[in-house]
Structure 1
């Protein structure tokens, strides 16, 4: 019997990025053996870990977080470590070894660094947001700022844009360019999908 695997993700943009990366490896959303859970924010991680610990058939639990939110994950995992079968002291530094990967700054920053400015702009072309972005850069407050800073701000200014662009940026990555936290999460998902109880 294969145990369920829960992948705890901070929000919809994280789910979109992981789905896109899995699709790039031939796993369609309908065939995804892991449950991608949008927690609606990192502060909810303790609640979801508690739900996992209450399951009759205990799922394997892994996840992804931003570095500024990692302390929430560490505290949540520590609070439920016995129920989850974790027998090490849980610290932020220990999280990746426990299956909880940490994005430097945040997911979008990881994706933009991997793609570079030109690659990120190419994604904006692909999703037909380049003209909108150029209009955004002409706003007085953003005029003359570094393009990377403009891109970071642009990604989060409109509802739904962050999710759309996270998925599109992830889909645009070559396999060898996938940032380490995402590569680590994908490796855990692949390994746990094939592990029996």
Structure 2
């Protein structure tokens, strides 16, 4: 991609992988649309990631995905980057920034359901690792969803790997709202910009 027409800011590689996987699943070519998905390396980097692209930089349309508990960080970062962020509860989604209730992994687990997530893990050859984690004394009292979330974050690169695999396993009508929202916003912005 020579230069993007729209920039989607996401916390990390797992979110980036999920956005790209959903685009493939729904038949959208992000490169052809001019959509760049930028992993910021943590939500606290939102300001420094938005500045070069937003109103005080290239003035490109922005969209993003974030975890609801970090909303205050998102509001502060977007304001510092030059966007007008009101106190209205829907202000961030109106700007194209969509909140995951807890995090993206939680959204994907809820959308697919525990049995389907376990099938994806099995298909990836990691059922034994999941079972070993679940059998550890500290996790024995956890719900299966809690164990799955811990499993996804327990090894370097696993979140990103499974973000793609779990998104690939979604039925189009079961896509988590924040993930669908950010992708559709990005594609709409790019299309309205002549892409």
- TM-score, normalized by the shorter chain, greater than 0.5: yes
Q: Does the 8 A contact of 1:78 with 1:90 survive in 2?
A: no
CA distance in 2, matches of 1:89, 1:142: 41
Residue of structure 2 equivalent to 1:20 = 21
1:156 is aligned to 2:153: yes
Task: Give the alignment's TM-score, normalised by structure 2.
Answer: 0.90
Q: 1:148 to 1:125 in 2, by over 3 A?
A: same
Residue of structure 2 equivalent to 1:195 = 192
Residue 130 of structure 1: CA displacement?
1.3
CA distance in 2, matches of 1:32, 1:133: 38
Q: CA RMSD in A?
A: 2.0
Query: Please, which runs of 5 or more residues in structure 2 have no aligned partner?
Result: none
1:186 is aligned to 2:183: yes
Residue 31 of structure 1: CA displacement?
4.1
Q: Does the 8 A contact of 1:19 with 1:29 survive in 2?
A: yes
Query: Please, which runs of 5 or more residues in structure 1 have no aligned partner?
Result: none
Alignment of 1:1-197 (within 5 A): 4-28=5-29, 31=32, 33-52=34-53, 53-55=55-57, 57-81=58-82, 84=83, 86=84, 89=86, 93-196=90-193
Q: Is 97-106 or 30-39 further displaced after alignment?
A: 30-39
Runs of 4+ off more than 3 Å: 27-32, 90-93
CA distance in 2, matches of 1:3, 1:34: 6
* Secondary structure of 1:101 counterpart: strand
Q: How many residues align?
A: 191
